[in-house]
Structures are given as C-alpha cells and as structure tokens.
Structure 1
Amino acid sequence: MIDLKIQEIHIYGFGQLSNVVINDLSDFQVFYGENEAGKSTIMALIHGILFGFPTKQSSELRYVPKNGSNYGGKLIIYFEEFGIATIERIRGKAAGDVTVTLEDGTTGDEELLKQLLGNMDKGLFQAIFSFNLHGLQNIHQMKGDELGKFLFSTGTLGTERLAKTEVELQKELEARFKQSGKKPVVNEKLKALHELSGDLKKAAAKNQGYEALVSDKERIHKEIEDISHKLQVVKSEVEKLNEWQKIHSLVKEEKWIQAEIKSLGEYPFPVRGIERIEKLNQLIYPYNAQISSLLERIDQLKKEMASIQPENQLLADESQILAALDQIPIYEQLTLEKQQCEVKLADLQEKMSIINEKLHLPLREEEVLTINTNIYMKNQVEQAARKQQKLLEVKQDLEEKFLEEKNALEDIERKVNFAETQMIPAHERERIEKLVSDDSEKRKVEYELKAVQDKIEYFKHSSEQDKKTFAAITKQKQNQSLAIGALLLVLSLYGFYSKQWILLVIGVLGTLLIVFFLSNNNNNRKNDAKINQALSQLLEDEKRFIQQLERYKNSNIPALQEKLKKDNYWKEQQQLLKIKLEQQQTQYEKVIGKFEELEIEAAENQDMLVKLSNELHIPEYIAQSFFLEAFQLIEQYKLICREKRNLLARVEFINHEKAAITERLTSYAKLYLANEGNDFSKIGYLLRNKIREEHGKVIKIQEKQGKLDDFNADLNQMKLEQAHLISEKKKLLEEANVEEEAAFYELGKEVESKLKFIERLEDIRKQVQYSFLKNDEMERLLQIHNIEERLNQFHNQIEPLSSRLLELQEKLAAANYQIQVLEEGGSYSELLHYYKQQKFELEEAAKEWSVFCLAQNILSKTVEKYKNVHLPRMLAKAEEYLSFLTEEQYQRIHLQQSGTGFLIERRDHTLFEANELSQATTEQVYVSIRLALAATLYEKYRFPIIIDDSFVNFDGNRTKKVLELLTTLQNNQILFFTCHTHLLPYFHPENVMYLHKDNVEVIS
C-alpha cells in the first residue's frame, strides 16, 4: 500500500511563482485565489515534481520562469512506510533532475521515486486522483450512447480513454475492411489482385517457350558457377606457391634450429644461476664475525643477573598481603557500621513500642511474625474494607433514590387522579357523540337537498327549452313530410298506371317512411311525460329533506365537538400517565429489591470481616471501623521485627569480620617485619614498602633478561639467515644436478648457447606468423621440390578455364536477350512483379487489419472481465456515493446487458440511460464514479485527490452534499483549488489558504 500526504511545497521558480513556501498542509486543504493567482501553477508543480516536467515536444505548459529564477521546487511528503521524504526536481535533462532524500539519510533519483510512488505514472495519476472541469465539459458535449460509454470508461480508467480507444479501433477496422465495402484498403486490394491474376494468365499464355529458355539460363548459370569455383581454387594455389617462395628459407632455418635445440638436450639449470650463486657467496661470509660478537655479550649479561636475587616468598604472597591490607579501610568501615546499627536498633525498638500502644494488643514479636499478611490476605482485607465502605455509600444512595422514586410515584398518582376528574362520564359522552353524529347526518341531508334542487332547476330549464325547440322543428318537419308525401303518392299512381313497378315501389316505400316519421313525434311526447314524472319525484324529495333539516336547528354542534376534543385529550393523558405510573412502580420496586440485595451483601461482608479479624488476631470492634488501618499497623510491626533481626545478625557478622582481619594482619607482620605492634596503619605502610623493594629487583632482572632474550633472538636470527643462504646455494647446485661450483659454472655456459638458439627461433616465428599460410599447408609445401614447375602447371590450367567461362557468359547474355524479347518488352515480368507486390501489400494490409481486430477482441474481453470481476465492487461504492449526493433520489447503477453503458435506477425503480438524466444529475453520477474508483480499485494508492473547481455548476444543496462526501474520504488527502468565494463558508477557516497574484500567504 502506498500511503502519502504532502506536508510542504517549496517553489524555487515555476511560472509566475518564485521563492514561495507553503507549509502545514492539512488533510483537507483549500487553495482560494482569483484568476492568475497561481492555482494551476501549484497543481502543475505537484505533477511535475512527482512525474517529471513536460518536455519541449509536449503539448502541456512547461511554466518556465520568465524572470530567470531557478526552475523547479521540492515537496516534503510523509510516507507511512518510509517516513518523511524530500523530493526535489530542478532544471536538467528532459524531465528535470530529481533528488529523493529519505528520513534515514538514503538518497536516490528517479528509480527511488518510482519505488516510493509504486510505479504510478502521470497519466494514471491525473485520471484517477485529479479532478477538473474537463471531464464535466465532456459530459455536456456528449449525446446518446456516447455518454454511457464515457461514464463506463471513467469507471474503469478514470478518463474517457477507453471509450475513445473503442471508437478509434472500430474506425481503423472499417477503414481497412468491410464485408460489403468498396473503398476500404483491403477491399480495394482484393479487387485489384483479382484483376491482375487474370491479366497475368493471359500474358503467360503468349510465352509458351519461356519456361525452356529459363531452364537453359539456369543450367548455363550453374556451369558458370562451377568453372568460377575451379578457377578460384587454381588461383588460390598459385597465391600460396608465390607466398611459399618468399618464406621457405625461413621455414627451413626454423626446422634446423629446432633440431639443434633438441640435440643440446634438456639440462636442469636455474634461471640466472651463475649470477645468483655469486651473490650468495658475498652474503654468507660477514655472518661469522657478527655471531662471535653476540656470544661474548650474552655471557656478560648472565653474570650480572646472578648478582641480583629477590625474596620470592614475599612476592608469592603479594596478592594475599595486599588483600589483607585492603581490608584495613573495611575494618574501619565495619566499626562505623556497627555503631550505626546500634543506633538503628534503638530507633526500631521505639517504633515497636509506638505501634503496640496504637494496637493495644497483648502480642509478642514471635506471635506477630506468625500472622499471615501475604498478598492474598492483604487483597482480601482491602476488598473487605473497600466493600464495607462501598456498601455504606450504596446504602446512602439507595435511601436518596428511594425517596426520589417514592415522591415521583406519588406525583404521578396525583396526576392520574386529576386526569380522571377532568374526563366526561361515559353516559354523557355517549349522548354528545350521538348529537355530533346527527350533525354529520345533517350535512349529508343538506348536500343531498342541494343536489335535488340543482336537478329540479336543470329539469325545469331543459323542459322549457325542449318544448320550444320541439314545437318549431315538429311543425317544420310536418310541412315537409306532407309535401314529400304528396309527391310520392303522385309518383306511385303514375307508376301503377304506366306499369313502371320501380316507380311504384319507390313511392310506396317513401310513403311508409313519412308515416314512421310522424309516429316518431308521438314517441317524443311520451318522453316529455317521463320527464314530468321524474320532476314530480324530485319535488317530493326536496320537501322531505327540508322537513328533516327542521329537526337539527336547535343543536350547538361546535361546542359539543370542542368538549369531545378536550375529553379525548384527557383520555390520552390518562393512558400516558398510567404507563408512566407502571414504569415508576417498576422503578420503585427495583429500589426496594436493591435494598434487599444490599442487606444480603452486607451480611456476607460482615461474615468475611469476622473471619479475617480472627485470623489476624484483631478484635471485632476494631475491624468494624479500622480494619485496613489495623492490618497495615500489623504489617509495619512485622517489617520492623524483621529489620531488627537483620540488624542483630549484621552486628554479629561485623564482629566476626573484624576478628578475621585482625588475625590476618598480625600474622603477616610477624612473618615479614622485625617489629610487632597493633597499629594497622604502620604495619600496612611497612609491608607495602617491602613489596615495592622486591618488585624493583624483579624489574631489573626482567630488563636484563629482555636484553638477553634480544641477543639470543639476534643470534638465532643470524644463524637462521646464514643457514638459509647456505641452503639456497645448495639448492642451486641441486637444481643444476652438480656437487661442486666448478661443474655448475661449466654447465651454465652450455645453457647460455641454447638460449641464443631459442631467441633466434622466436625471431623466425615472428617473421613467419604474418604469412597467410597455415602450418598444415607449410608441411605440405615442404614436400614440393620444384616450385617453378608446379606454378607452370597451374598457369596452364587457368587459360582454358578462363576461355570456357567467357564462352558461357556470352551464351547467358544471349539467353537473357531471348527471354527479354519473349516477355514483350518486359510486360510479363512487370505484371508478375506487380502481382507479387500487390499480393504482398494485401498481406501487409490484412496483417494490420488482424492486429486491430485482435486488439478490439482483447479490449472487449478485458472490458467484459472488468465488468464481471472488478466493476461490481466499484459500482457498489459509487451507488453509495450517488445515493448520498442525490438524497436517495437515485439509488442504483446498473451495467448494460451488452456494450459499455450504464443504467441509473431512480427511487421509484424507473431506469434511465445516462443521456436521459439532467445535466446536474449526470455530473453527480460522474463524481460518484470517480471517487468510488479512487476508494476501491485504487485503494492501495492513497494519493492526494486534487480538485480544480469541478463543482461550480452545482446549486447550493448539491455543492453542500458533494463537499460533505469529500470529508468522508479519510484515506486520501484533499487539495481543493477554487476561485469562487461562495464555496468558502463550507470549509474550516484554518484549512483555507489564500493565493494572491504577488505572493502566497495563509489567512486563518
């Protein structure tokens, strides 16, 4: 886990900021400033120091200072794993030179910084932990399913890169190949290759002899290669023979010298043997005189040492004597300690008398020491004393509690009785309820009366209108019907007399219709009768309802309702008071029960006190009030008794030690001093002087012995060196396998001749090594006796081979010319070459298409795995944040069944796509996903979350909710940059840092 917090920011020079220090950054730090106050500059500096400054080729702003100040700055960051770390980045190579210093003194560069940041890169950091208006502006510009894909991409990578990548891959695939396309690259090349294949077959059909010429050309070409190889071999042999003519004399001399060296044999002779034996002879002779001089000086020292002899017995007893002398201060100290012990014994006796007076118990020291005062007994006494005190306190508390609960119970009982007196008797309440119920019935009758009167008015008005309208229409229709009936009658008669049966049928049917119409008017009159009957019924109902209302005139309903309301109030009060009364009675009974428990516990504790007081021999009347104090006095008495016994034992030990010291000092004084006495100081002084004298003798002997040892060592060293030189000389003779020096010198001359031959052999080999001939070739050439003859033979082979080679080359040129003619000026070969080129280009284009197709497939599988494995945990946290931000208006975020979109579920379980939500709600979804991404999938990276005015489009309530949500993110430091004053009241004043255009300061 990478857990860090930025504590200080030092800006050397970055943009318009120079020599600025921002320290004591809080867990929720707000930077407020107007435009161009340096907010974006501080954000860019944090990104630059952590991940490198933008390069000159980058599209990001580099913030190079214009005033020539140092470019860069440093961050002081607390890492949970590494402690305080200082990260400094200044102008240098492309991304700047960085220096990292840890709390333990460890320093490093980019590699250590990557380790501290867990290999987090700049792009991922800005995508996950850096908020700005860019993401929200993207939301505003998107339409349709693009918005859902953008939110999904945000939930996986923190940015829209996933959505963009998916679209770009699809575009790249469609630009290369479509199933029914014509313009994509692969489609075009497939079509062109198909056409070229047909043209190539046509061109090949015109050249039937082409294959035979090509076969002859290959045969001639192979024969040319064979002859060229033979010719090359012959020329190589000629070169070797020419080289051999240059070096054969040196090779033969080398063979001769090797034979001579072999004839001289291998004599074992040391390297530079003659020079070495002469040098050894010069070193051996001076040692004889030096050895004689040392022997004389050794004899003189031995005589001087014999004249000095120390007293060995005194020196042997030195440690015991000095130990005895060291006991003299102890003797005096023991005397003083004995006096102090006697004083303490008197003081302890006085204390024991005082304790006896306080306890006033007839106890002896032996009896007191037998009393059990161990830790367990002390703990029991303390517990019993504390419990007795506690029981007294509890009893007082219970008595007070008893009075409180009793008074409260009586008070509630009084209130219950008062509430019952205020309630209406049951029979009176029943009467009032009946009257109020009748009032409801009155309102119902009034409502029904009003409805009946409205119907009567409606029927009267409708009846008059219908009568007038019906009379006019009826009269008009009767006139028309009579006129039409007369015409139809005439038509029927004409048809009957003229025997035109169609006219007769028409006339008859028309007459029947006229009759039916006239009869329909009678039906209308019947309807008028029904209406009159209904109106009469309504008038009777009206009269009945008016009579009913007369009965309800004299009742005062509002006053009765108010009385019922008050009675209901006192009924509720009575029920509540009864519940409180039951609860109070329970509390009262609990207090009484606690009194009983207290009495039982007090009796048990009293038994324990009696038992313990008997064991401690303390009277019961003392144990009742001063049990712990009495135990402590007994404990003190036992301690004083033990201390008294220890002091008496110490006095006895002191007497014994003093007697032993006196005896030892007296015995040494008698043994080594002439005078005897009891003055220990004088005895010590004389014995120490005696020891120093004897040590002086020992030192002199040791000095002379040291010189003697040095002389002996020098003598032995000289003898060893002389013997070593003689041994070295003998080794030289043995290496040469001779016994005398004369034979050694004779053998040296022969070895010198052999060395000269070896040097000449080395010179020859240096000359021969530059030849390109190998050793086996040289051995082969040594067997040739007549080199000139062999050279002539090879020259005779070269001429016919060269002629044949020239002839074949001419044939090859003719075959090439015929092939060229047959190819029609090169059309076939060009087609063939172009066909292969197009086929290669098609394969390359297909490879590119398959790469993009594979990438799309991998991306789809990755997205699917992410949806099924990692995304659910992130979405659960995002749903929690979204529910909080929208005040539970939107509660769930669902994945699309296919694709990469989201569905948002409202509280009423209605599902919305992202583009169907309002702008503000979409931004809340975006913020929830971004924060959930940092809190779940990237929870191991507890980096600061940097927010740059990302919520300015929210209203007051939404802004308040999102800032409350940010305060719950305890694992991440929040760096909030804003230029809006209306946001400042949402933050603690001590967490706000005010940025000005000329400097940066903290205003608390």
Structure 2
Amino acid sequence: MKLKIKSIEIYGFGKWIDKKIVNLGQVQLFYGENEAGKTTLMTFIHSILFGFPTKQSSDLRYEPKISSKYGGKLLIEDDRYGEISIERVRGKANGKVTVILPNGETGSDNLLEKLVYGMDKTTYQALFSFDLFGVQKIQRMNKAKLNRYFLSVGSLGNEQLLKLADKFQLEAGKLYKQTGRVPDINKKIREVQNKRQQLRIAKGKNDQYTQIYSEKESYEQETEEIRKTRTKNEAHLEQLSRLAVNWSYFSEIIAIQEDIRKSTVKNMPQDSLFQLNHLNQSIDQLRAKTMQEKERSKQAMERSNLTKSQLLFIKQKEEIQRILSTVDSTKAILQEKDFLEREAKKEMEQILRNKLQLNLTIGQQIPTAQTAAQKTDYQKLYHSIIVVESKLQKAIEKKTFLVYQENSLSEQIDKIEPDIWNNQLFQEAKKRYEQSEDSEYDLGQSRSIKENLSELKTNRLKASLIGAVGALLAIFGFMSAGQAGPLLALSGVAMIGLARFLYVKKKPVKIVDEDKSRNTYADYIKQIELRKQWRTQLAEFDQVITDSKEVLEIIEKNTNEKKELINKLGQIITDSGYPETTTIESLVNQEDPFETLRERVLAVEEKEELLKQLSEQLIQWKNQVQFLEPVILLDWEHYPSIIEGITNFYQESLDDEQKFLSIQKEEELRQQEMKKIVYEQRNFEQQRITLFQSVEAKNEEDFRKKFILFDEWKRKRARLQLLEQQVSEDINLLEQFRDKEDLVEQMNKVKKSIELHKVNEETLMNKRVKNELALKELEKGGEYSVLLQEYANLKSELQELVDMWSTHKVAAELIERAMTHARKNRFPETLQDTTKYFELLTKGQYKQVLIKEEKIEVQRRDGSLFDALELSQSTAEQLYVALRFAFVKNATDIVKLPIMIDDGFVNFDQSRRMQMIELIKQISETTQVFYFTFDQQYLTKFRKDQIEML
C-alpha cells in the first residue's frame, strides 16, 4: 500500500498564489534560493494532509497577504482507492476539507484520516519529514543519549519519544531526589515531619482527648481483628461452596478409583493392537502375493502363441531399431519447439507492452527505422522551426520596443507643443530681433496644429493605450500554442493598426497668443530651439510608425511560416506512423525509440520460421513411423505419446521374443519365490500366536476384547488425572467430610459465624463513630484541631506531589519499555538495511553497524570499531540518515507515505552528497521522496522532469 502525490495546486498560501505543480514523480527536487518558498511549499503539503494550524497555535498559518483565497488541493494516487483529490480551504478549526474518490464519492476528515493511515501531523513530521536541524542536533548529545537516540530512530523512527521520556524524567527529578533538599517533595516531607511533631506535642496536652483517642484506636483494632476473622471465614465459606459445587467430581473420582482397583487388565503392551494389525496385514499381503504368482504362471502359459504385433516386430525389427535411434533427436526437436513457442509468446506479450509504453495502439504498425536522409530532413525541419521561432521572438521583442518608442515620442511631443508660439507671434519677434523679412522656419502648419492641440493630445493618449494592449495580445497570441493563439494575435495586430491610425491622424495645434511685451530675445532663441526639437520628434515618430508596420508584416510572415512547418511536422508524424505525442525534438535529439521493438518483432519472426521448420521435420518423422499405427494404440497426434509408445512397444516385443526360451526358467524361479512366500507367511502366523499367548488370549476375538478393556482402563486413568488437576486445591479438604450433608452442615455454621461477626463489627463501628464525634468537639476550639487540619493539608499536598512524581516516572518507564520492545521486533531488519545504506553513503569506508550492550558501534573497513560519539559530525549525520531511511523501508508494511527532506545534507562533502543522491533514488523505488534545496549542484544530478524550479 502506498500514497503518492501527483500534483499540487495552491489557491493561496503564504507567498504562493494560484500556483500549480503537476506530473510529480517518485523522486522530485524542488530548487529555489533563500525565500523562494521551499519551506512554505513543504508546510502547505503538511497542512492539506493534516489541517491548518489553529489561530491559537504557535505554528505559522501562512495566510496570504494579497489574496482572500486560502488553501489548495492535492491530487494523490492510492493503491486502495485510486486517484483521489484532497482540497482544504478556510473553515472552522483546521479548515474545511473535501476528499473526492474516483467514483465521485466525497468525504471529509474521516475519509482523509483513513488515507493517511490514522497518522497526525506531529507523527508524520517525526517519521517521514526531517531537516538540517534534526540531522545536526545529534552532535550535541553525550555518549549515552546518542546511543539511545540512534536506537530509537532505528526501531521506532521517532526521536520525539526520547525527548518525551527525558522530559518525564526531568520533571520527576524536579519533584524528588533521594538525597535532595530543594525538590518539592523533599521539602514537603520535612514540613510534614515537623507538623507531625507539633501535633504530638499538642496531643499530649489534652488527657481527655488522649483517653478518647485510645478508646477509638482500641475499637479500630477490635474492628480490624473481627474484619480479618470474618474475611477468613468468608474465604473458608467460598472454599466450602466450591467444594459443594465440585462434589460431583469427587464422586466421580471415587468411582473411577474403585473401577481401576478392581480392573485386572493392566499389563497389555501399548502397541499390541498395532502389532496384531501389522501381522494380519503382512499375512494377507503374502497370501495375495501367492495368488498373484499363481495367476502369472497361468498367464505365462497363455502367452505362448505369437500375436499380430509380435509378428510385425519380427518382420520390421531393423526398421524399428533405426526409428528408435532417432528418438533422442526427435525429443530434442520437441523440446526446442516447445521452448521456441514459449519464448515467442513472451516476446509477443513484451511487444504489446512496449507498444503501449511508446503510445502505439495494439494494432498500429511499428514505424520504420529512420534513414539518414530522413534524419537530415528532420534536422533541417527542426532547425527551420528554431530559426522561425527565433525570428518571431525577435520581431515581437522589436515590436514591444517600438510601442515603447511611440509612447515615449508622444510624451515628448506633448511636452513641447504647449510651449510653442503661434506663427504671427514668432514672425513679429523675428522682425524685432533679427530685422529680416524671411522666416527661418515655415510655421504654416503649426497654426492648424495649435488650433486642435487638446484633440491631438487626447487621440494620442487613446492610441498609446490601444497600442499597448494590442502589443500584449499579439505577443501572447504568437507565443501560445493553442487554437486561441492566432485569434489573439490577429486581435492584437488590429488594435496596433488602430493605434497607428490615431497617431498619424494628427492636426496642427492652436497655440494661445502670448503678450508681446513679455517676449524677450532669450524667449525668441528658445522658440527657435523648440521648433527644431518639435520637427525632429515628428520625423522620428513617423519613422517608428513605418518600422512598426514592417515588423507586423515580419510577424505575420513568420507566424504563417511556423504554421506551415508545424503542419509539415504533423504530416511527417502521420505518414511515418509515429504516435501523436511525438515532437520534433525527440525525432532529432533522441535515439530511435522503436529500434528495440523492431528487433523484438524480427526475433519473433525468426522464431516462427524456425518453428515452421521444426514442425516439418516432425511431420516427416511421423510419416516414417506410420506403419506401426495398427499395432500401437495411442494418440497419434501427440508426439511424446508416439515416442513413448514406440519405445514401450520395442521393449515389450524384445521380451516377447525370448518368451519361448524363458517361460520354463521363469516358472522355476516363480516356484522358488512361492516357497519363500509360504515360509514368510508361516513365520508371521507363529508371531501372531505368540502375541495371543503373551496376553493369555485364546484367539483374535478374545485378544481384541481384552484390548478394549485395556483401552477403557487407560481412558479412566486419564479422566482421573484430569479430575484431580481440576480440584487439586480442595482435594485435601474433601477428606474432612463423610458426605455432602456433612459439608452443608459445616457451611451453615460458617455462615452463622460470619453474620455474628458482622453484628459485632457494626457495634464497634458505632462506638468508634461516637468517639470520633467527641474528638471533633474537643478539636473545635483548641490548638490541636488547627495543627491536625494543617497536618492533613500537608499530607494531601504531599500525596498530590507524589502522585505527580509517580505519573512522570511511570510514563518514562513505559516509553523505555516500548522502545525496548520495538528494538526486539523491527530493529534486526532495520539494522541490516542501515549497514547497507551507511556503507553506500561512506563509499565503503564503514562495513558494519553493530549493537553491543544497548549502544551502536560501527566497524571501519580496516576492522576498527568506533562508538557513535567518536564519529565526525558529517559521518554521524550519515549514520542518522541511514537509520532514518532503513526505518522507513521496514515500516512499509504498515504505512507508506511520501518522504520530505528540507536541505538536510549541507555538511556532506561532494562525493558523499552524490552517494546521498544514489540512496534517495533507491528509496524512491518504493517510496516517493521530495527534496527541497538551494544547492545548484543537485540540478545536474536529476533529470529535467524531476526538477521543479521555485
């Protein structure tokens, strides 16, 4: 049984918003730098499986800051139920959870608890989830604690139990120490002793109190004596009652003892009946054998005439011998044919599995091998697609830049135009400062532009927004591979065209006249410079519009070209018979995945051809032996039967050939054998007579009657032993009574005595109560009552502390016993796997992990033994990891959940990190492993599909 996480979907959890991770494998590496969200993702998985922390909990809840959604979903695969969805969102307590089974059935917390095998978050984090802190803390332990720690990890997998046991011991130590003075119980004992001494002093001051108290104690002693006597009588009455109930057993014991005493059949051997049956069986067998030998003599005489098969044998003897010489080769052909048929069947089953693995249907033809020319064509097509995609990407990036230029130029023009004078004002200033009739700039167009400055500014703002949205749609459409991609791209291009139209549809700006008296020569020079800038910006803007049009044409061209190349790839896949999931990258970069499949098909065809040849050889051989069919009765379609029949026929015929010469000799030998049989029969008959005489039996019937009596005697002996065992406690008491009436009379006497004791006990209790009331009256106004109350309070407080101390001591002892039991149960197998993993992690430097006197030792390659405390920090951490993984492996018969590791191996050197990766891959064959790290070194050691970049 196992539980595997296939995908993760986060609605909102800490920094993760609308995050989805799919296609998670048996081993998955989550890579990210500091604050990339690795621990958050790991906590999310814990929260979905076991619930969000409550608001009163010290654990972080990771509620998102920028989203109202809280929670997410896991898609898991479980051997018991199949593919299951687990969703947890904001709700009461630990959140609202919904579990959806493959058949559509839904459940909540109870169903989820079954899925995780009844485990809570704390247990899961202790067994299946560990980080650098859990690995490094072993270096801070002393020798005794370190060995207990390792033993706990290997047997129970949970070092938390050690913490709990140590915590209980520490709490008990705070309450009481044998020679301590500071602990609470030690101080409370001294207080109670002091108060008892004060109470004795106060008690001696009151004579009346002492007298009454003495009487009360006397009553208590008498009551106790009466109670003991009554208890003794009640126990005696219980024994007598049990004796009365079992009286029938005693009667049966007496009767059986009398029968055994009278019986005379005691000396018959235990196996006498077996001896008789064996002798009878041997005699019957010898008699039957005599009859068989006589029948054989009769049959031998009848076989003196030759049959049809014997005549055929004599005539075709040489041919039959030649056929027999080919039997071994024919058997070899049959064995080879059977072997080839089995192999061909296995190959066909493997071919069907390989087809399904390669996404081929069962009836689909296997694609032919790629030729060099096809490989070249695929590489050209791959190169063309890459080139087109590169051009398309560059054009999109250029278009984005041009849109940025359009917006920038528009803003610059908008900033310049409000400061430009109208043409009349500029010309007047020019005449005034330069005394010239010619205008340096022709500002005829500026008059109309200034008249509509606000309208132009509005149009350009709209164009900028439309152009930006169009560019984003076009980029997203060109990058998208779905059916909606082209539609989005065309929409984006249309919006960019509209933006360009709005930009180029510009009107001269109308500028408000300025007060001529305020225009200085510096203002005039500034106007000249502004007009130059304005003309330059307009020219650059027109050039950008032209470039945008050209880029759009390039995008459209490359998009169409890419579509043609994709269609061409689809045609190649269809024509070549490749699966629909085949990509151009796999055709170019990967080896032919169907090569092994084609080799298997070729091997099957070769086996089928060889089978055909073997079948033809068998048919030829069968035609050669067909002449024996009339005399050999068998299934002539079954070759093994034919071979066996011919072999038997040949052997029988050889025997028959010599029968005329051997019949007389056989008969003589048979007569001698019969004499031996008769002698043996008489010997067994004499042994039977001797057996009868040993038990003084006249015949077999008399013998069996005596054996029945002997068997009955044994059963009575066994019954007597059983009864004596059942009433062994009361067997001696039985001898005190003549009969059951005597026993009943004694029981009545004991009952009366018990009733009398009860009455006396009640009387004494009443007297004691009166004395206690008198004592209370005396205690009300005196110092003694105060001291007595204080003494009682101190005793109560002491008892509470003692109870608390006992609870801690018992809890610690129970945990230690549980760990000891677990070590005896699972630790041997765990230790074997620990040795294997530790040897792998240390690259063979350590060959054995041992337990000696409740501590763990490791043996180095040179034979030297080291205590765990003597190891270096990294080697001790590797021993911890080996123990942890060995426990997980040996706990798979109980529960199999994913392992999660948060950068636990930073102290390992590079070579041992590589060994750690190898161990993780081994463990992932049976258990899913998630490894969270910021170390880039691991990225090269896992496949691309096993890495999730955060």
TM range (shorter): 0.3 to 0.5
TM-score (norm: length of structure 1)? 0.39
Structure 2-normalised TM-score? 0.41
* Larger radius of gyration between Structure 1 and Structure 2: 1
